[in-house]
Chain A
Amino acid sequence: MPAREPIEVIHRTTREGKVVPLAIVWEDECGGQRDYPIDEILDVRNAASTKLGGYGVRFHVRLRRAYRYLYYHWNEYKWYIEKIE
């Protein structure tokens, strides 16, 4: 089984059925949960992830000054995050 970890995401589903991620929910050091809002979505496309494995919808997102790939794997209904190098 692949060793990738799904993450928690708050998302909005539009009337047309489009899914738009709004924020990533992360656990901080104290065990509490914190939302990190997604400030900008630069790009959306179907793509395979070479680092995590699997494929799905890839959102190129900006959280403050950090750029990340956010994957939505529609066959598992799960979200994954990947660093861009």
Chain B
Amino acid sequence: MRCLFDNRVIAHVDANSYYASMEMMDDPSLTGKALAVCGRVEERHGIVLAASPEAKWFGVKTGQANWEALRCCPRLTIVPPDYPKYIYGCKDMRRIFLDYTPLVEGFGLDEAFLDITGSLHRFGGDPVALVQEILERIHFEMGITCSAGISFNKVFAKFGSDLAGRKEIIRIGVDNYQEIMWPRPVKELLNVGSATNKKLGWCGISTVGQLAKADPEYLRRRLGKNGVTLWQFANGYDKSQVKPIDFRFPVKSISNSSTMPRDLINEEDIAIAIDVHAESVAARLRMEHLKCRGVQVGLRFHDLMGFERQTRMGFPCYTARSIGAAAKRLVLENWRGKPLRGICVRAIDLVPDELEQMCLLPSYRLEMRQEKLEKAWDVLEHRFGHGVLAPCSHLTDPLLSSINPKDEHVIYPMSYM
């Protein structure tokens, strides 16, 4: 049951421990050392973001706390992350990709899907030669190593590059995908996290091959819609296109989350934290000309467990006051007094701001006045910078209100779905 889409050639290029390679490239004295790029402990972001191969050899893993990493490797060199540098490197990498194809879809900073079907004739139809040249150019021009996977769909290409070691290229074609993929554990497949892996385990599925041969109707019953999608992934029926470089994904939700500089222990702390996040979310909504019809909050406790709750708004809005009020209500209804480590405020169910149903409620008129006020605030912040205006309540706790989620937020890989 193969189809027309199988004629595509898609590569997935993935920089090997990108943050660590960028640091080594910038400072050759670090080369060959056990190096880890870690967040700052003082800001309570102290986890390993990337580790060099030498550090990985000692057992240092991405996502470990700094002290755990130091226990694995006491002579570990730790450097703080430099996001502007990584974003710059990402742009330069994409510039090299664009010499080969306009269909370059970034997947996080250090990964990208490339549809190279149209450029193959320049390399005598050999995709490996083309990708080899890309990898060599990245190595020569930027000093970082990449691995790549080549296949006829995005999921297999990603699988290949995850499987490949440093500077390696793995081709997964129609002819050999069953040999390569099917014996591998199912958790290596894209979109199979620990929860899905456990569920699949209950169904007796532990390898990609077992997933591919399973009955899709059975998977739908056990895992819902996601089960069928995974079955399609395992069989190579993924038909999603590689988006052109300037493609912008439609905005589905806007959110800000932070690990707070200290734990939130009472209602006043939570109110300040939510206000700061709601202001940022509202300002970004206004920038995108979108209004939200729902608000979601996520709470994270000190043991890194947490939950999310959501509510609907009476009418679409994009003011910090309404979003903040809804978020505060949600938190206070669900919070049981356990100290909070992090908080997330998300605007969901977005609608364009010009298509609006008028409303006769008095709260709607108040909302209109608030909108004018906050738009004026936007202009002031744009001219004079963040923090030129702040609510009085923020003055009670300068530490909590000092964070600036709007300008400090980093973009994470878009979900594949």
Contact = CB atoms under 8 A, between A and B. Distances in A.
B141 A51 contact: no
Interface stretch (A14-22, A23-31, A42-50, A59-67): A42-50
Contacts of A47: 140-141
B379 to A, nearest CB: 32
A54 interface: yes
A49 B143 CA distance: 7
B20 to A, nearest CB: 14
B395 interface: no
Contact of B28 (A1, A45, A46, A50): A50
A45 B143 CA distance: 14
A80 interface: no
B408 interface: no
Q: Give the interface centre of B25, B26, B85, B142 by most chain A CB atoms within 10 Å.
A: B26
Interface in B172-227: none
Given A2-B26, A48-B25, A55-B25, A75 B142 contact: no
Interface residues of B, number: 14
A3 B28 CA distance: 9
Contact of A53 (B27, B88, B139, B140): B27
Contacts of A53: 25-28
Interface in B1-39: 25-29
Interface in B123-148: 139-144
Contacts of B141: 45-48, 55
Contacts of B28: 50-53
Interface residues of A, number: 15
Contact of A48 (B27, B29, B85, B142): B142
B27 A55 contact: no
B140 A48 contact: yes
A52 to B, nearest CB: 7
A24 B184 CA distance: 57
Nearest to A45: B141
A3 to B, nearest CB: 7
Contacts of A75: 85, 88
Contacts of A52: 28
A46 B99 CA distance: 14
A55 B142 contact: yes
Contacts of A51: 28
Contacts of A54: 25-26
Contacts of B139: 48
B142 A2 contact: no
Interface of A: 1-3, 45-55, 75
List the 5 shortest-distance A-B pairs measured between CB atoms, nearest first. Answer: A48-B143, A46-B141, A2-B27, A53-B28, A53-B26
13 contacts: A1-B27, A2-B27, A45-B141, A46-B141, A47-B141, A48-B140, A48-B141, A48-B142, A50-B28, A50-B143, A53-B28, A54-B25, A75-B88
Given A1-B27, A51-B28, 8 more contacts: A46-B141, A47-B140, A48-B140, A48-B142, A52-B28, A53-B25, A54-B26, A55-B141
